Chains A and B, each alone.
Chain A
Amino acid sequence: MRSPTRRPFSREQRLTIVQGMLVFVLVMVVLQLWLLTATMNAWLGGDDAMVWPAAAASAACLALNAGLFRYLVRIERAGRVRE
């Protein structure tokens, strides 16, 4: 059961969290870049089989990244309320 009085993360903890998130986000962005170039190359060559799956994968990466950023904003807001 969740404790009703959870302590917000300290600044050091938030820094560790944001660094962990950054690593994940960077990997996702590199994956998206690869997807974009591979899809563009295939599509210009007339191969359209991977266009929609690649778009879905890229959108999923964006959703993950945006979700992480939203979480970061939330914990930061909780810390600000504490201060």
Chain B
Amino acid sequence: MADTIRNPSGSGPIDPAINTPGREGLTGTAPADLYGPVFDREQVTIAPDFRPLDAQPAWRQDFPIDWPQDVYVERRDFMKFMVLTSATFALGQLWIALQNWYRQRRGQLPMQRVAAIGDVAVGGALSFTYPGEHDRCLLVRLTDREFVAFGQKCTHLSCAVIPRPEENSFYCPCHEGRFDLRTGVPTAGPPQRPLTRVLLDVRGQDIYAVGIEERTA
């Protein structure tokens, strides 16, 4: 309706918006096309270096994208990726909890005969599996009546350790890790946790594995 107001001088329509308190004296004096079009703020794009479009390099003028929107979308997508990462970590945590539940459900490990005392010489070692068929372990005879057994899996990255009784250690060839032969505690290299200890029971002339002991230190 306001656009229909005519300028008495006949030069064009009067801008009705200019008729505001304090500017009444100008009423009817300014043509409607005095002001440029007013854009919504979200329609205005600003280049990353804040210079006008004319001052931008040709490649940027050729692709005058909506840069603020680009920045927003990139932050939003990064956030989406971070939420997915968060979900992955939570799933990993749940996986550990389920494995723990399975381990507790397994209960007491069975007793298993490993070898006869005479099968291993003093300072010698014997390989066996316990408790599963894929869990390789090493039995070492330290003295006449003293035996120790450990899981063969290095606690760094699960390579197989090699017994070196002459050096009083287990040696991991992957990253030069070393463990004490008597206790399985790491003495050199990257491993932080001791080897899994296999609990032994000597009955008569036979050696039995009766359980395993995971340790943090």
B172 smallest CB distance to A (angstroms): 16
Segment with Cβ contacts to A, from B17-25, B96-104, B120-128, B163-171? B96-104
B86 contacts A46, C-beta separation under 8 Å: no
Q: Looking at chain A's contact residues, is the secondary structure mostly helix, strand, loop, or mixed?
A: helix
B216:A36 contact, CB within 8 angstroms = no
List which A12-41 residues lie within 8 A (CB) of chain B: 12, 14-15, 18-19, 21-22, 25-26, 28-29, 32-33, 35-36, 39-41
Complex CA distance for A38 and B83, rounded to whole angstroms:
21
Docked CA distance A76–B68 (Å): 15
- Known contacts A40-B96, A43-B96, A44-B193; is A18 also within 8 Å of B86 by CB? no
Per a CB cutoff under 8 Å, which of B41, B75, B192 touches A15? B75
Closest to B213 in A: A46
Residues of A close to B111: CB separation below 8 A: none
Partner of B97, one of A52, A61, A83: A52
Known contacts A15-B71, A55-B97; A32/B89 CB under 8 A: yes
Q: A36-B93, A42-B216 are in contact. Are A62 and B86 (CB under 8 A)?
A: yes
Q: Chain B binding site: helix, strand, loop or mixed by DSSP?
A: helix
The minimal Cβ–Cβ distance linking A4 to chain B, given in whole angstroms, is: 23
Q: Check A69–B79 contact: CB distance below 8 A.
A: yes
- With contacts defined as CB atoms under 8 Å apart, how many contacts are there between chain A and chain B in the complex? 113
Q: How far is the CB of B139 from chain A (nearest CB, A)?
A: 21
Most chain B CB within 10 A, of A14, A43, A58, is at: A58
Q: B93 to A39, Cβ gap below 8 A?
A: yes
Instruction: Give the interface size class of chain B.
Output: 35 or more
Taking a contact as CB atoms under 8 Å apart, the answer to whether B86 and A19 are in contact is: no
**Residues of chain B contacted by A2 (CB below 8 angstroms):** none
- Asked if A22 and B75 sit within 8 Å, CB to CB, the answer is yes
List the 10 closest A-B pairs by CB distance, nearest first.
A46-B214, A45-B216, A32-B89, A58-B93, A62-B90, A55-B93, A55-B97, A65-B86, A58-B90, A51-B100
18 cross-chain CB contacts under 8 A = A11-B68, A15-B75, A18-B75, A22-B78, A22-B82, A29-B82, A29-B89, A32-B90, A36-B93, A44-B155, A45-B214, A45-B216, A51-B100, A52-B100, A58-B93, A62-B87, A62-B89, A72-B76
